[in-house]
């Protein structure tokens, strides 16, 4: 098969790494790709948001399957345009991508179909006073979200009412997030443990994948500003087999049925951000948000654990043939530490030199996923973005995977970079309290 992966980050590196291992993979392109991706795919100088150029390239190159990594081209109709010329794509059409592209769309779907989520209300640009009154009446903590895509920066978990009012003004008065913030969703703040769950969907059939847990805050102890993700691990122990069944029965399958019934069937990767809340009868799963593609850095821990061939699974989801498909996972854990440029997620400098990557990659169980790198003519690696490297490792436990990942981190020589040193702390606490049996 001739394949085009869309995107340029660590997620897309992980996708290309996994796809290249498939015996069904022929020509593999990535637009625009990065320095690390070039080891697996031919990088094409087309921006991931340039839908017209991507469609034209896919037509000329006779691409069999397009795999979009980021959300923006999906929301902007890339899959619609590809399907119109007979090219399969593993992702939703624009109408279904609204599950991520509009928080009020997702919340309204949940309300209509009884899918458990936090209480909420929506306010537009002409309803600033009503939004402020709602926040005051409900009190803090409370969550204010820009309705549209805001590159992960449109959510404020307000600890005080004043913080909530400032977040409302950021969106509806000051236009901080442009069109993405012309409406806001204000919702109850759920308290619990946040986990991610992934499934493949072909419009009607759902193939559950596995769980992961991300670390959004920039610094140790879950402090500092929110980022695109500073690390992840899989599986997430908080999502037990029993809770997974409930997530499928109460959240994922009802969503897929609802979307099909409302005329916008979902195809592709469905990524549920969940909060596990302690209820009177035990843990209760609630839907926080949907993403309509693999997460980053969650993808960098899911794919190293995947035992099945990724390519036929993604193709089956794209063409409506998931029924009867199965997926196998390695029994071990995977953990990824993100190395970022100093100053991220604020201002940072590009071009700093990174050494020691070959030595880090040689450590048993370690795989490096490049998120924003470039290679000089002399072979030296340079940082070209905020989140620059994902240092992933597998191990029999999260603790073992973590030890290997940080050993690799410490092998990399990059004075201008930084990382969190506590990735996986929740899972490690669980393992310490209840170590796995030697028979497991």
DSSP-derived letter for residue 342 is: T
Q: Where are the domains of the chain?
A: 3-94, 126-181
Q: Give the whole-angstrom CA distance, residue 146 versus residue 102.
A: 9
Write the pLDDT tens digit of every residue in 356-403: 999 999 999 999 999 999 999 889 999 999 999 999 999 999 999 999
- The superfamily (CATH) of domain 126-181 is ATP-grasp fold, A domain (3.30.1490.20)
- Residue 225: predicted pLDDT: 87
Write the pLDDT tens digit of every residue in 250-286: 999 999 999 999 999 999 999 999 999 998 889 999 9
Write the pLDDT tens digit of every residue in 205-221: 999 999 999 999 999 99
- Residue 431: predicted pLDDT: 80
- Residue 286: predicted pLDDT: 98
Q: Which fold has domain 3-94?
A: Rossmann fold (3.40.50)
Q: Please indicate whether the domains covering 3-94 and 126-181 agree at the CATH topology level.
A: no
Alpha-helix runs per DSSP H in 139-194: 161-172
Q: Give the whole-angstrom CA distance, residue 403 versus residue 392.
A: 11
Collapsing DSSP to helix, strand or coil, 295 comes out as coil
- Residue 440: predicted pLDDT: 31
The parts of the chain modelled with pLDDT lower than 70 are: 435-440
Q: Give the whole-angstrom CA distance, residue 231 versus residue 274.
A: 17
Q: Which of 325, 330, 266 is nearest to 302 (CA)?
A: 330
- Residue 439: predicted pLDDT: 34
Q: State pTM to two decimals.
A: 0.95
Q: Give the whole-angstrom CA distance, residue 339 versus residue 356.
A: 13
Angle at alpha carbon of residue 407, lines to 406 and 410, rounded to 5°: 85
């Amino acid at each position: 098969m001739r394949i085009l992966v869309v995107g340029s980050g660590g997620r897309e590196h992980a996708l290309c790494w996994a796809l290249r291992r498939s015996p069904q993979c022929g020509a593999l392109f990535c637009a625009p790709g990065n320095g690390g991706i070039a080891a697996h795919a031919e990088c094409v100088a087309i921006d991931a948001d340039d839908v017209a150029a991507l469609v034209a390239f896919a037509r000329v190159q006779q691409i069999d399957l397009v795999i979009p990594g980021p959300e923006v081209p999906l929301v902007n109709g890339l899959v619609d345009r590809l399907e119109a010329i007979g090219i399969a794509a593993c992702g939703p059409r624009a109408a279904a991508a609204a599950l991520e592209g509009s928080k009020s769309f997702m919340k309204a779907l949940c309300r209509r179909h009884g899918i458990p989520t936090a209480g909420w209300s929506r306010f537009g640009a002409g309803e600033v006073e009503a939004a402020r009154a709602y926040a005051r009446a409900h009190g803090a903590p409370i969550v204010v979200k820009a309705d549209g895509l805001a590159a992960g920066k449109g959510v404020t978990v307000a600890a005080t009412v004043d913080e909530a009012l400032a977040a409302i003004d950021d969106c509806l008065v000051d236009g901080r997030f442009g069109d993405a913030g012309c409406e806001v969703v204000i919702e109850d703040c759920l308290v619990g443990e946040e986990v991610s769950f992934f499934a493949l969907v072909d419009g009607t059939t759902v193939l559950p994948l596995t769980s992961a847990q991300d670390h959004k805050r920039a610094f140790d102890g879950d402090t500092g500003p929110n980022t695109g993700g500073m690390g992840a691990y899989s599986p997430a122990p908080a999502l037990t087999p029993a809770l997974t069944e409930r997530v499928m029965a109460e959240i994922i399958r009802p969503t897929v049925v609802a979307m099909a019934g409302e005329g916008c069937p979902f195809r592709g990767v469905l990524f549920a951000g969940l909060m596990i809340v302690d209820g009177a009868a035990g843990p209760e799963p609630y839907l926080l948000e949907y993403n309509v593609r693999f997460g980053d850095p969650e993808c960098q821990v899911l794919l190293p654990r995947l035992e099945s061939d990724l390519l036929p699974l993604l193709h089956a989801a794209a063409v409506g043939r998931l029924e009867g498909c199965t997926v196998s996972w390695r029994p071990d854990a995977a953990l990824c530490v993100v190395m970022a440029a100093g100053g991220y997620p604020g201002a940072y400098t590009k071009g700093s030199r990174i050494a020691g990557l070959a030595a880090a990659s040689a450590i048993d169980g370690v795989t490096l996923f490049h998120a924003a790198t470039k290679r000089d003519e002399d072979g030296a690696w340079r940082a070209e973005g905020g989140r620059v490297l994902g240092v992933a490792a597998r191990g029999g436990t999260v603790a073992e995977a973590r030890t290997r990942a940080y050993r690799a981190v410490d092998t990399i020589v990059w004075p201008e970079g930084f990382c969190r040193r506590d990735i996986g702390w929740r899972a490690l606490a669980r393992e310490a309290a209840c170590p796995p049996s030697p028979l497991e």
